[in-house]
Amino acid sequence: MKQLLVTDALCSGCRACEVACVARHDGRFGTASARIRVFKDERLGVDSPRVCRLCADAPCVPACSIGALSRGEATRVVHVAADQCTSCAACSPACPYGALAIHPRTGMPLICDLCDGAPACVTRCVTGALVYGEADDAVDPSRLTSLTGGRGERRQDSRA
């Protein structure tokens, strides 16, 4: 099953993924309604993109007491029934990864839909921190020195 794979160590914190997500879904420029969010751990100095991990048990779905959330069988993408959602936001704290945000204007859940199989965030990520693929397509953290040449800038690599 394909999903968004994140390698925090490659994230520069540029937030281009957030801008691409909002442009794709809302046709606007900005980051407030992005379905992917980049958080910075100031203590560690690490940027970390958070996005739906397509959990096997999807705790956000049963957290919705009115049944406005459902998920596809094949892709495991969580769908929001806008006509049923009451904007209660009970689904957001149910996400164990902090990947489910609430739209600042509509109050609707913001959950990654993988852009129907062509994630806009991946095409905008210049560092390779985001990959759309199977779990074995993720960058092995032990390879980061060879990918960056030890200088923090990414070199071309056959897996890149």
Share of the chain above pLDDT 90, in %: 69
Percent of the chain having pLDDT more than 70? 84
* Total domains present in the chain: 2
DSSP, res 61? H
What pLDDT score was predicted for residue 140? Answer: 53
Same domain? For 36 and 74 the reply is no
pLDDT at 128: 94
Do 46 and 68 reside in the same domain of the chain?
Answer: no
Residues 47 and 35 grouped into a single domain: yes
Range of the domain at 159: 1-51+112-160
**Shared-domain flag, residues 73 and 117:** no
Residues 43 and 16 in one domain: yes
What pLDDT shows up at residue 10? Answer: 94
> What does the pLDDT look like over 69-124, one tens digit per residue?
999 888 899 999 999 999 999 999 999 999 999 999 999 999 999 999 999 999 99
pTM for this predicted structure: 0.81
DSSP per position, 105-154: TT--EE---GGGG--HHHHH-SSS-EEEE-GGGSPPGGGHHHHHTTTTSP
pLDDT higher at 108 or 141: 108
45 and 69, same structural domain?
A: no
Output the domain CATH number for residue 81.
Answer: 3.30.70
**φ and ψ at residue 124, rounded to 5 degrees:** -90, -10
Do residues 38 and 139 make contact, with C-beta atoms less than 8 angstroms apart?
no
| Residue of 18, 14, 44 lying closest to 99 (CA atoms) | 18
State the Cα–Cα distance between residues 45 and 33, nearest whole angstrom: 24
Radius of gyration of the chain (CA): 16
- Using CA atoms of 150, 155, 158, 160 in order, give the dihedral in degrees to the nearest 10: 100
